[in-house]
Amino acid sequence: MNRDLPIADRRQVRRAALRLVRRDVPGFTATLLLNSLAAAAALVSPWLLGRIIDSISAGDTVDLLAAIAVGAALAQLVLSRYAEKVGTRFSERVQEHIRAELLDRVLALPAATVEHIRTGDLTARGTTDVAVVGRTLRDAAPAILVSSLQALFLIVAVFLVDPVLGACGLLALAGIVAASRWYLRHARPAYLEEGAARSELAEHLTANAAGARTIEALGLRAKRTRAAERVIERGRAAQLRTLFLRSVLWPSVEVSSLLPPVLVLLLGGVLLDRGQVTLGAVVTCVLYLRRLDQPIETILIWLEQLQSSGAAFARIEGLATPAREEVAAAAPRGDRIEACGVHFAYEGGDDVVSGVDLTVRPGERLAVVGPSGAGKSTLGKLLAGIDRPRLGTVTVGSVPVADLSPAQLREHVVLVTQEQHLFLGTVRDNLLLADPTAGDDRLGKALAAVGADWVDSLDDELGSQSSGATLGPDRVQQLALARVILADPHTVILDEATAMLDPRTARRAERSLAAVLEGRTVIAIAHRLHTARDADRVVVMDDGRVVEVGAHDELVAAGGVYETLWRSWHGSRSVGDSHRADR
């Protein structure tokens, strides 16, 4: 299964950029208008300087022309100041929209996508890429807009002063155009490769930090170090590639930018000798072309940044692809879950679930047990729609579970594992994620149902700030179970959901959940076999297959795999442990 998130193509990025502009048309229009006026005001002084030179040569006064030039310079200063202010505000609003869209898209990703993507890829897109795009919108977009208008006006102005000199200067810019086209042709794939290398590095850093103790315990430091070095080398090679592109672009631009005024001076001298142009016209054209250096340099400086931010924007916009490709499934007709001839294998491996046929009746309490590696958790993910079978079908109400949209899936099936996350905020904030309309009374009942009476001892109770570090894994797990109660799905799949709790608290939470989830379908994947004893039916898995199905007493009496598991589990506990767990 592909673990990489999609990347938007150029057309999708252009559409996304236009969509962002349409969200704030007044801001974009004001930015464009003020920058256009500032660029127009910048043309006045060079033109007046040429007139002043010609007027002095003719013996005329130049006081009025000088006053107008000063006024034009002040007007340009004021207009540029307000253009920058309006443009920055516009860019900040657009950046806010990007962050909001990114969050919505991440939360709307299908469960199967979230389960299998690279954590580092998603992290890099949500942090580094958003920051790069934000900086570009704040700084590059206004700068490029202003510089493009200035360059356009300057080129038009040169042609208006003298078409021959204008054509000469424009012809001399061909080197810049050629170098820029070459750079743009190679830049996008190079910067996408650099972004992918950055994501892979983030993935390795995250994995090494999270598994530091495991790495030390298993003596994997040297192996992980070599893997990290390979990732770093890939990143270095990608950065060298983009550096090479810049090292070709900039010298070419520097040389090409010197040619227009030099050629205009040479040609202007010839035309001046022939009386075809005035000295003021030649000086004006040279000043315009010299001023052209600054906007062209600005455009090309930010052109490089645009390639990087364009690749980052493509990666951000790519998060919309799973949702865009998603086709809403028909509404399930009933709550019955059926697995027919299900086979599943992880990428590059053998089947871990083979030929499973299983029907889960509405309202049934089903326990799935088996030795370690039997395929229990994988079956739970298949039933929850996180994974899609390689062969066979898994349906709820005759609709494939994996085809349900995230919103549909949450209404029907919820998977709870021992790996849970507590978001930054209060206890109340974390609970309201499951049902934003729930009042404090309902929140309190959900907490009581999972035995989370410790909330009452917090300083501000539901309003207390919460984090996994301060509460501990057992309390985080209780809050996760309380969220399940608030979500109110018809089927709950518990994959060792109480593993983080001590045996006594776990038993109490399971009994409370059993009472609260009365009438709902509960599928419990557990190693603690007292869960199986309380179930309506027990499904026994071994080597990816369902080998036994039946009630607890029936399976113990049958003397098969389950009886062996029960005897091994029950006999491995001390009498005191047994009494405490069963209380």
| Phi, psi of 522, rounded to the nearest 5 degrees | -125, 120
| Phi, psi of 446, rounded to the nearest 5 degrees | -65, -40
347 Cβ contact list (under 8 Å, min separation 6): 1
Lowest mean pLDDT among 71-80, 468-477, 560-569: 468-477
How far apart are alpha carbons 312 and 300 in whole angstroms?
18
Burial class (CB in 10 A: 0-12, 13-18, 19+), 260: buried
- Helices marked H in 10-62: 10-23, 25-41, 44-58
High-pLDDT (> 90) share of the chain, %: 0
Residue 568 has pLDDT above 50, yes or no: yes
DSSP 41: H
562 Cβ contact list (under 8 Å, min separation 6): 369, 532, 538, 540, 548, 555, 556
Q: Number of helices and strands (H, E) in the chain? A: 25, 12
Q: If phi over 0 gives left and psi between -120 and 50 gives alpha, with beta otherwise, what is residue 347?
A: beta
pLDDT for 262:
77
SS3 390: coil
pLDDT category at 505 given cuts 50, 70, 90 is low
How far apart are alpha carbons 79 and 41 in whole angstroms?
9
Burial class (CB in 10 A: 0-12, 13-18, 19+), 201: middle
To the nearest whole number, what is the mean pLDDT of the chain? 77
| 537-560 burial code (b ≥16 CB/10 A, e <16) | bbbbbbebebebbbebeebbeeee
Average pLDDT over every residue of 431-436: 81
| Higher pLDDT pick, 538 / 120 | 538
Residue 322 has pLDDT above 60, yes or no: no
How far apart are alpha carbons 52 and 505 in whole angstroms?
91
- Report whether 542 contacts 557 (CB < 8 A): no
pLDDT for 324:
42
Residue 580 has pLDDT above 50, yes or no: no
How far apart are alpha carbons 219 and 473 in whole angstroms?
26
Place of tokens 């300057």: 154
- Report whether 337 contacts 393 (CB < 8 A): no
Place of tokens 């608030």: 486
